[in-house]
Structure 1
Amino acid sequence: MKISRQKSPAPDAPSQERRKNRRAKTAGELGDRSGAERLKPEDTDEDSPDTDLTGEDETDTPEMELEAEPDLDDLVEELAPEGMDQDEVKEPGETPLGPGAFRLPVLKAGRGGTADILHMYMQEISRFPILKPEEEVELARRVRDTGDQDAAFRLVTSHLRLVVKIAMDFQRRWMQNVLDLVQEGNVGLMRAVQKFDPEKGIKFSYYAAFWIKAYILKFIMDNWRMVKIGTTQTQRKLFYNLNKERQRLQSQGFDPTSSTLSKSLGVSVEDIEEMDQRLSRSDMSLDITIGDDTTATRMDFLPALGPGIEETLANSEISALLREHLASIVPMLSDKEQDILQKRLLSDSPVTLREIGDQYGITRERVRQIEARLLQKIREHLTDKIEDFSKDWIRENE
């Protein structure tokens, strides 16, 4: 059986002529322009916040020094799709609005590696226009005054390339998946949109760079080890600056001892030594066996930090005796002393001296004196009732 294949009708002459002219026009406009330039709108001013994403005024050099910083323009030029039509790049103000427009680009996992995913992501975010300075100010005002989601969307998408630039700066320090840094930087960018005040007179890209870096740095610190390496302000300061300060002192001919580093960074010697140990040692699992021929783990050899069984039982017995005999002393106390006993000495969540004082119209010091006298009464009473009673069993609450 023969199957005949029907040919599609040939386009008419006017249609062919229009297509030919359009292709010639596009080729003429784009022929002498690099891939990076093709991604920029025609009328973008040179003073646009993100026109030069590699400038020092846009993204300061991170606190953690880098050996080399990739140029985003080179990256965009390398990843730009060949033959991309200028019409595909939206001019400022042409970003589609409406419910369907609030879908931000995402890093989609696929079969390819990190470079392939980043390639596709760069292709997607390069289609969003770079805003003019006056547009940024107007959009920021709408976000601040009315919470306009359209304006917030346009501010975020126009600066996604800035996030990639900063994330690439930190890649050498992170030495792992740069896509994680891009995602954290995007969160910082959205936070910057929420906090930005256009009346301060600074460009949004400069302001956003600080939030992007802050979120990326926090992510690096939180994930540097399986166990969180820095939780206090001092620890975060040392995490970012300890090794850099040590190298600076060595280059000047000084011996970077813990004492010298302590004075230079304004922290204690103990903090220096603790962070030095955290940075120099790797994580270790306590559940791994200590040998091939045994089932014992490191956890089995760790000393118990809490009280032993004997101590726990003794404390439980003492507490029961105390409560039993305290019941006999309550009738001997005044109403005020009984209230202090219940709210200050027997409560799991004791109130403050000031709260008791406000209740009875007396000073905080007067409440402390009544409490001290109450404790003395309890000691004397229990000493007579319980053999081998120790005064240390009663904890004074100052």
Structure 2
Amino acid sequence: WIRQAILKAVCEKSRMIRLPLNRANELVQIDKARKEVDSSKGEENELREIAGLLNMSQDHVRDILNISRDMVSLDVPVFADRDGNTIGDFLEDSRYEQPEESMIENALRDDIDAVLATLTEKEARILRLRFGLNGNRAMSLKEIGDRFNLTKERIRQIEKKAIRRLQNPARMSRLEAYVA
């Protein structure tokens, strides 16, 4: 019972995330089986042999081994002598847009809308469709012509005239900050 109490205390206190006693026992069994198995055949073969020896599924063995890995804090400095960068500084959640990027994109959209508002409604709509400024894909001259019941040549002329009007310094100054 003393040995069991020590094992229980080690399981409960030795990790950042507590490992249940039955999982700790399975981990001990897997470690013993690992010493018996030839590891030179590759990780998948080793897992298959361990699972066969212990009457466990390969996925279960893999899960137990993944659970047993050491934790690494995201606040640990990457380099001891460099300006204190941590692992967390280099990780990014790509599912979410960065606030700065979102703000710049919104400002650009507002400025484009303001500049296009200085054109005629038809010119603005044609430029939005042609360059995909409405959030959709960019359309061809023919597709836009079909929408407006005009030839693609006439759409090209309207587009060219609208772009020429946008090149006016008063209108250009509003968008210059976005051009690198």
If the length of structure 1 is used for normalisation, what is the TM-score?
A: 0.20
Indicate the structure with greater helix content: 2
Q: Which has the larger radius of gyration?
A: 1
If the length of structure 2 is used for normalisation, what is the TM-score?
A: 0.39
